[in-house]
Amino acid sequence: MKYNLFEAGQQGCTRLITMGGAFSNHIAAVAAAGLLFGVDTVGYIRGEAAYPLNPTLQGAIDNGMELRFVSREAYGQLREKGLQPERPGDYPIPEGGTNALAMPGCRELGEELLTQLDDPGHSTIAVACGTGGTMAGLVTGLQGLPCLGIPVLKGGFMTTTVQGYHGLFTGRQWPHWQTIDGFHFGGYAKTTPELFSFMANFYTQTGIPLDKVYTGKMFYAIFQLIQSGYFAPGSTIVSIHSGGLQGN
């Protein structure tokens, strides 16, 4: 969101409009940014409202966001057409925050990681994928360091999605990354007792909390891949904890 917020400020915008699912980290982030910078926020939410609201949506309301629940069909149409300003001062931000201005912000994450790694030549960066925007930008800053994306929703489309972002927003394709499906546990925000057991054991062993939508699935995948011999001996796996704890 960094450069989108810069652009909104330069344009003198007074309201951010965006969209997302009921467990969207992006919805939570936009609402928090609106409170921080003193601008109004509106979030179109996929699906009917279910009360009591989950912690992500209630937190967005507490931070001043106006929520507009729309049917899945209407949401799909909104995504296809793209959000448009509804009044002067509006600044639309697409689902997941993924647009051309998202790329340099996520690229900086990759560049920062390179300065922190003692031995980047034997490292793999892992990140959970929702809309794929974070990974798409991250890859552009890693200077060829391998990057592994774990989609947290089913469909098997993440590789094509990230490739599309690269072509549309950077004008080129980037090497040394891949996505691995099969760790969505039934779909976006879907869970199983096995996932909750893994998260509980992980917290007991490390003191690091995970969330059920994004990071829990990513770390589960990493451990499964380690056990299957996916990573070469001596590798360093750098796992990006992308948040989502409000969803717990």
CATH of the domain at 220: 3.40.50.1100
pTM of the predicted model as reported, rounded to 2 decimal places: 0.92
In this predicted structure, the answer to whether residue 248 has a pLDDT above a threshold of 90 is no
Same domain (yes/no): 185, 222: yes
Same domain (yes/no): 233, 119: yes
- 216 band by pLDDT with thresholds 50, 70 and 90: very high
In this predicted structure, the answer to whether residue 207 has a pLDDT above a threshold of 90 is yes
Last residue within a domain, chosen from 48, 77, 97: 97
Same domain (yes/no): 46, 136: no
AA identity, residue 35 = L
Average confidence score pLDDT of the chain: 96
What letter does residue 63 receive in the DSSP assignment?
T
Same domain (yes/no): 180, 122: yes
Same domain (yes/no): 71, 112: no
Same domain (yes/no): 177, 225: yes
pLDDT (0 to 100) of residue 124? 95
Last residue within a domain, chosen from 97, 126, 161: 97
**Residues 151-206: tens digit of each pLDDT:** 999 999 999 999 999 999 999 999 999 999 999 999 999 999 999 999 999 999 99
Q: Which helix (H) or strand (E) holds 194?
A: helix 193-206
pLDDT (0 to 100) of residue 56? 95
Q: Which domain holds residue 8?
A: 2-97
In this predicted structure, the answer to whether residue 59 has a pLDDT above a threshold of 90 is yes
pLDDT (0 to 100) of residue 120? 79
Same domain (yes/no): 187, 70: no
Same domain (yes/no): 126, 232: yes
In this predicted structure, the answer to whether residue 121 has a pLDDT above a threshold of 90 is no
- Count CB-CB contacts under 10 A for residue 45: 22
Same domain (yes/no): 11, 56: yes
AA identity, residue 205 = Q
What total number of domains does the chain contain? 2
**CA separation for the pair 199, 170 (Å, rounded):** 36
**Residues 88-110: tens digit of each pLDDT:** 999 999 999 999 999 999 999 99
